[in-house]
A = this chain, B = another copy of it.
Amino acid sequence: MNWNVLNMGLKNDMIEDATRGRTERRDGRLTIVDVARHAGVSKSTVSLVLAGSGLVAEATRERVTGVMSELGYVYHRGAATLRGAKSGVIGMVINDLSNPFFVEMAIGIEEACQGGAYIPFLANAAESPLRQHQVIRSMREHGAGGLVLSPAIGTSLAELKPLLGDLPVVQVMRRVPGLKASFVAPENREGARKATAHLIAAGHRRIAFVGGFASLGVRDERLAGYRAALDDARLEFDPSLVIETAPTYSGGGTAAPQLLNLVAPATAALCFNDVVAIGLLRGLAAAGVRVGEDFGVIGFDDIEEAKHTFPALSSVAVNGRNLGARAAQLLMRQLASGDHEPETVLCPATLVIRATSGAKNANATETRA
């Protein structure tokens, strides 16, 4: 009691003293030692308070926390990591943020980080392995404890491996062949199969697969699902119905005339992703084709925008947000447990039917062909 009162007096004295120039260090940073001095305890005690240790007496804890908020102290995690603490920072390196799907994934990652009290660095590799290399290096230097990585096209294992060292990594959507790291992805094959089967059931026989580059593993999987559905229906696979384009709006746009000018024109298309599908929608509209009536289109990813196109785009929903969240959670779990055994997580892909996949006149179109 008496001691407490005495100490309060002491504390005030020290604040006086401090305001006269002691608190302000040359770079203005307020340290645990400053707090200790003001509270009349040692830095060790303050450290214990910060750690939430039960060892410190209630009265002392209150006094210390009081001083902390009074002075506006902010904890310096950098110093703590130096001493061996976990960093609490993870990096997210995304292949291309101009694609809304990957943006949704990024948002999912961020969301999950908040849930796990981590904080994410953000970097857009813009499909450049060089940039990707630089940002990963930078993130490591800045103390990222792990990485959620959606690798850029053309990422080479040889370059990536020494760069990563033993940094825990979770890959999303895309996988670098040979890299010993976890992987989170949607069931691309199954999703594509279901979508194609739906188009077949609607009466379509000339179904195209549009968009993406052959070098993309994701595309291989989706293409495989497409072929599987054709096989199931005993439809012959026609390579002229597979069109390779950039996975962009304009890529989809350029595919439209190609599909229509075939000797036996396509009457429907499964697109590599929604962005391509939306581009195709516009291309078809420009050519006077009524999508959903004369022509069936299904996209992939089910980005937010798919709901707002005209006609509303049917799509295979892979839930980018969920995918990102799962990846981040997996990484955080691995960081917490210290167990970096590669793990593979497959998330379901579900067909969302809207207006573009209808096929009222599909048979007519087909017979005309």
Contact = CB atoms under 8 A, between A and B. Distances in A.
A120 B121 contact: yes
Interface string A107-127: 100110010010111111000
A287 B124 CA distance: 41
Nearest to A305: B305
A134 to B, nearest CB: 8
A124 B142 contact: no
Given A165-B74, A309-B310, A123 B142 contact: no
Contact of A110 (B75, B81, B97, B141): B97
A304 B137 CA distance: 31
Given A75-B141, A78-B81, A142-B78, A114 B123 contact: yes
Nearest to A109: B122
A122 B120 contact: yes
B82 A142 contact: no
A143 B100 CA distance: 30
Interface string A67-80: 00100101111110
Contacts of A106: 122
Contact of A76 (B103, B143, B309): B143
A114 B131 contact: yes
Contact of A309 (B82, B84, B123, B308): B308
Interface string A307-318: 011100000000
Interface residues of A, number: 54
Contacts of A98: 107
A51 B43 CA distance: 33
A354 to B, nearest CB: 12
Given A103-B107, A110-B124, A123-B114, A142 B308 contact: no
A162 B88 CA distance: 24
A76 to B, nearest CB: 7
A180 interface: no
A139 interface: yes
Given A72-B162, A165-B72, A309-B309, A119 B131 contact: no
Contacts of A138: 117, 119
6 contacts: A78-B78, A114-B123, A117-B138, A119-B138, A119-B139, A282-B308
Chain A to chain B: the 6 pairs with minimum beta-carbon distance, closest first: A310-B310, A122-B122, A78-B78, A75-B141, A74-B140, A77-B141
Interface of A: 27-28, 69, 72, 74-79, 81-82, 84, 87-89, 92, 97-98, 100, 103, 106-107, 110-111, 114, 117, 119-124, 131, 135, 137-143, 162, 165-166, 249, 278, 282, 285, 304-305, 308-310
